[in-house]
């Protein structure tokens, strides 16, 4: 079953456009949603949650169309947008008491278990929480109302390496039973290398690729060689950088002739992102 | 809907604004004052402060994440406004009754706090709601322009009504003269005011929903 099924999402702004965004997330997996700042990650996520109006397209969550079953589905979605920035002068306890009334599947026991596990003191004010604790609090809220799909917008940005690693471990534990699925956007690609099952890469409002992580990385090759070698492959490269030693450039594996003598390695997610961003610069 | 109203009462509205009606209502005890000013304090103080609070606390984003419809978000917010308005007006009415008994032989230059006058106050708040609610929900966060316009509307109504009450002998007679002793007349003016208040607030709700559905939550 698909936890999330997005098809042909279109949204036009004066200076930016989401073009035919489509991707699918299988239930019980973690999908990393990567892209540079301004690539359209948050816009896509907000379209999924019906917070902004889409011009066309279809969003199905757990098999149901969100346009028709919005309220019902929001009971099963947990979301977090970066830092928690509402009612920050209130205690977590006060906020939770208000929030829990909205969810019919709220479970106090689960909630307190997560508070203990995340070492959160519910008498603290939101403003007193560190960035990592805010994310954990959002997660505790989402999990206590029995969310089946977690939609997290940059949950790891602003966290230190220890907190990030801790959070990623939690993500992996959550999906073990196959009940919960996670879509999280980030620009910190090392997070995804650690825990994502699938990668969806968005660039300038368009989905470049959405596939299994290793498959995704294997579909690209990072070439490096001398300037004379550059001319052999220049046409096929997505983009390249030159330096005094020669060049490095990104290429689709299918466009690369393995018998050539250009040195090829598997790029990291970060390198893929960077070379795609460079490609845009060329056209500008 | 109920949960959203409770959310606003617990988190959104500062407790001070539940006490304010008691304090501002006490101004009704000033003998022979321009009593239209009393419910206007709600528009001057409570509305801008509360809506500034909603904006700084990022209430719109918070609410949108809950499993609620946009229609209910508007309905709940208007309910909260109406609750606060009723609180102001009912408490002021009680103070008004005390005033009438406290100074039985006062000559009123402005409207005396009889029931008919409260009918006018309901109409004034109806005008306020119509302008404020419909303008505010164009963006659901910009409250400044909506506050200024709606206060201007409400004060214009109060000004004209009071001016008529002083200049026009017929109106003077209804509210301060012999009409004041005609309980049936006074009650019917009050009831008419209440009906207008709820009818116009319902209209503003419909306009607000229509506008809010187009708002993008960023």
Name beta bridge partners: A241. Answer: A248
pLDDT higher than 90, residue B117: yes
Nearest CA in chain B to A95: B11
- Which of B3, B59, B67 has the CB atom closest to A86's CB atom? B59
Q: Is the pTM of this model over 0.80?
A: yes
Confidence grade of residue B155 (pLDDT, cut at 50, 70, 90): very high
- Best-predicted range by mean pLDDT among A172-181, A239-248, B194-203? B194-203
Tell me whether 0.95 is exceeded by the ipTM: no
Paired tokens of A147 = 């969310």
Among left, alpha and beta (phi > 0; psi -120 to 50; other), residue A40 is left
Distance from CA of B59 to the nearest CA of A (A): 6
Paired tokens of A155 = 């949950």
* Residue B93 neighbours by CB under 8 Å, 6+ apart: B113, B118
The confidence score (pLDDT) of residue A82 equals 65
* Average pLDDT score over residue span A123-135: 88
pLDDT higher than 70, residue A148: yes
How confident is the prediction for chain A on average, in pLDDT? 87
pLDDT higher than 80, residue B56: yes
Across the interface, do A98 and B214 touch by the CB < 8 Å criterion?
Answer: no
Query: How many angstroms separate the CA atoms of A134 and A131, rounded?
Result: 5
* Average pLDDT score over residue span A115-141: 88
Q: A148 and A117 in contact (C-beta within 8 Å)?
A: no
Confidence grade of residue A264 (pLDDT, cut at 50, 70, 90): confident
Query: How many angstroms separate the CA atoms of B72 and B64, rounded?
Result: 11
- For an interface test with A, give the residue of B4, B13, B67, B218 to mutate (most A CBs within 10 A): B67
* Average pLDDT score over residue span B175-200: 91
* Average pLDDT score over residue span B170-181: 85
Handedness of CA A151, A155, A161, A167 (dihedral sign): negative
The confidence score (pLDDT) of residue B136 equals 95
pLDDT higher than 80, residue A44: yes
CB contact A17 to B (< 8 Å): no
- For an interface test with A, give the residue of B6, B11, B70, B72 to mutate (most A CBs within 10 A): B11
Residues of A in contact with B69 (CB under 8 A): 70-71
Distance from CA of A103 to the nearest CA of B (A): 8
Place of tokens 């604790």: A133
Confidence grade of residue B39 (pLDDT, cut at 50, 70, 90): very high
Distance from CA of A169 to the nearest CA of B (A): 25
pLDDT higher than 90, residue B36: yes
Distance from CA of B137 to the nearest CA of A (A): 15
Confidence grade of residue A282 (pLDDT, cut at 50, 70, 90): low
Task: Give the orientation angle of helix A92-100 with respect to helix A108-117, to 10 degrees.
Answer: 150
CATH of A2-216, one of 3.40.640.10, 3.10.290.20, 3.40.50.300, 3.50.50.60: 3.40.50.300
Confidence grade of residue A283 (pLDDT, cut at 50, 70, 90): low
- Which of B3, B59, B216 has the CB atom closest to A101's CB atom? B3
B51/A49: higher pLDDT: B51
CB contact A75 to B (< 8 Å): yes
CB contact A79 to B (< 8 Å): yes
Query: How many angstroms separate the CA atoms of B147 and B136, rounded?
Result: 8
Query: How many angstroms separate the CA atoms of A7 and A61, rounded?
Result: 11
| Nearest of B188, B182, B169 to residue B120 by alpha carbon | B188
How confident is the prediction for chain B on average, in pLDDT? 92
Any idea where the domains of chain A sit in the sequence?
2-216, 219-283
Paired tokens of A159 = 């966290």
The confidence score (pLDDT) of residue B35 equals 93
- Which of B3, B57, B217 has the CB atom closest to A87's CB atom? B57
Distance from CA of B8 to the nearest CA of A (A): 9
Q: Which pLDDT tens digit goes with each residue over B3-30?
A: 999 999 999 999 999 999 999 999 999 9
Distance from CA of B51 to the nearest CA of A (A): 13
Nearest CA in chain B to A85: B58
Across the interface, do A102 and B68 touch by the CB < 8 Å criterion?
Answer: yes
User: Cα–chain-centroid distance for residue B7?
Assistant: 21
Residues of A in contact with B214 (CB under 8 A): 53
The confidence score (pLDDT) of residue A131 equals 82
Q: Which pLDDT tens digit goes with each residue over A88-113?
A: 889 999 999 999 999 999 999 999 99
**B interface with A, Cβ–Cβ below 8 Å:** 3, 6-7, 10-11, 57-59, 61-62, 64-69, 214, 216-218
- Count of pairs with CB atoms under 8 A, one residue in A, one in B: 58
Q: A223 and A233 in contact (C-beta within 8 Å)?
A: yes
């Amino acid at each position: 079953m698909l936890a999330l099924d997005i098809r042909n999402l279109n949204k036009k702004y004066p200076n930016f456009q989401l073009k035919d965004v489509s991707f699918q997330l299988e239930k019980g997996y973690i999908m990393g949603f990567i892209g540079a700042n301004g690539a359209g990650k948050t816009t896509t996520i907000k379209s999924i949650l019906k917070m902004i109006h889409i011009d066309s397209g279809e969003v199905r969550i757990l098999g149901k169309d969100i346009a028709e079953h919005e309220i019902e589905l929001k009971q099963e979605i947990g979301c977090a947008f970066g830092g928690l920035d509402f009612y920050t002068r209130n205690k977590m306890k006060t906020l939770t008491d208000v929030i829990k009334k909205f969810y019919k599947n709220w479970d106090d026991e689960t909630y307190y278990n997560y508070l203990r596990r995340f070492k959160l003191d519910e008498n603290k004010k939101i403003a007193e929480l560190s960035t990592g604790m805010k994310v954990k609090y959002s997660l505790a809220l989402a999990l206590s109302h029995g969310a089946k799909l977690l939609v997290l917008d940059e949950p790891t940005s602003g966290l230190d390496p220890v907190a990030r690693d801790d959070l990623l471990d939690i993500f992996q534990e959550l999906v073990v039973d196959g009940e919960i699925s996670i879509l999280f956007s980030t620009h910190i690609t090392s997070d995804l290398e650690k825990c994502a099952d699938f990668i969806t890469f968005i660039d300038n409002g368009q989905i470049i690729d959405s596939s299994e992580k290793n498959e995704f990385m294997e579909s690209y090759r990072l070439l490096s060689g001398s300037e004379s070698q550059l001319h052999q492959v220049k046409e096929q490269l997505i983009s390249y950088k030159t330096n005094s030693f020669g060049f490095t450039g990104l290429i689709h594996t299918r466009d690369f002739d393995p018998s050539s003598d250009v040195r090829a390695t598997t790029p990291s997610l970060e390198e893929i992102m960077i070379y795609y961003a460079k490609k845009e610069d060329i056209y500008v | 809907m109920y949960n959203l109203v409770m959310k606003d009462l617990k988190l959104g509205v500062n407790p001070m604004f539940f006490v304010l009606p008691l304090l501002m209502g006490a101004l009704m005890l000033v003998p022979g004052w321009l009593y239209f000013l009393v419910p206007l304090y709600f528009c001057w103080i409570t509305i801008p402060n509360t809506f500034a609070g909603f904006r700084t606390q990022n209430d719109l984003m918070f609410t949108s994440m809950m499993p609620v419809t946009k229609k209910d978000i508007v309905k709940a917010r208007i309910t909260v406004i109406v609750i606060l308005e009723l609180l102001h007006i009912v408490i002021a009415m009680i103070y008004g009754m005390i005033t009438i008994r406290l100074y039985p032989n006062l000559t009123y230059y402005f409207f005396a706090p009889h029931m008919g006058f409260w009918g006018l106050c309901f109409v004034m708040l109806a005008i306020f709601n119509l302008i404020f609610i419909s303008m505010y929900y164009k963006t659901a966060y910009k409250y400044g322009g909506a506050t200024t316009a709606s206060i201007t509307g409400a004060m214009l109504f109060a000004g004209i009504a009071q001016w008529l009450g002083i200049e026009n002998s017929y109106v003077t007679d209804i509210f301060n003269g012999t009409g004041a002793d005609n309980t049936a007349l006074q009650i019917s003016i009050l009831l008419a005011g209440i009906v207008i208040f709820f009818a116009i607030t319902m209209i503003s709700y419909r306009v607000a929903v229509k506008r809010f559905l187009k708002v993008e939550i960023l």
